[in-house]
A = this chain, B = another copy of it.
Amino acid sequence: MRVPKRERQRQLEMSLEQNPFLTDEELSKQFKVSVQTIRLDRLECGIPELRERLKTVAARTMDAEVKSLQSDEVIGDIIDIELDKRAVSIFDVSDDHVFQRNGIARGHHLFAQANSLAVAVLDDDLALTVTSTLNFLKPVKSGDRVIARATVDKSRSNDKRTYVEVISTVENETVFTGEFQMYQTTDHSRREI
């Protein structure tokens, strides 16, 4: 009993956490014990076999990829839209979106939600942001649900430039405002192709 059992099992869990691809045989060499011991250790720690581990890791990937695919064009979920007029999207802030140090959401996520909503509200294949002015009014934390409301400012817009205003709130408090000047390339006079 060179290394005590308990310590070996702790290390085993860490090894597999970091690299789930190790077989029992490889582990037995790493820890200089028999394959059977590794099996008993896994049994006691409730660690599944290689194939099951890979299955869950792979499932995680697919899930993440589907999500990132869905949210590819728009950050946040659009819950209401009236093209060329207004749109609303919600974005749930998670731990992935905040600074580790202080738990405050990183600005570019709020920007991304607002900006992609500004793009979406314009019924145009090639809407691009030209200029924007942003105000980060109140820190947003993990767990917050940010609701962004975009409105197209018709009065200031012309055929090549459109102004979109976005106001983002958390529990009815405004946390962010943004004004986006968008460039539209599509010639709307001959949209019907």
A167 to B141: give the CA distance in the assembly, Å: 29
> Contact at A108–B101, with CB atoms within 8 Å?
no
Interface residue A40 (Cβ < 8 Å from any Cβ of B): no
Give the number of chain A interface residues (Cβ < 8 Å): 40
Within 8 A of B (CB), among A97-144: 99-102, 104, 106-108, 111-112, 115-116, 125-126, 128-136, 139
Where the two chains meet, the residues of A that have a C-beta atom closer than 8 Å to any C-beta of B are 19-21, 51, 54-55, 57-62, 64, 72-73, 75, 99-102, 104, 106-108, 111-112, 115-116, 125-126, 128-136, 139
Q: Is the interface of A mostly helix, strand, loop or mixed?
A: mixed
> Contact at A135–B128, with CB atoms within 8 Å?
no
> Contact at B133–A21, with CB atoms within 8 Å?
no
> Contact at B112–A125, with CB atoms within 8 Å?
no
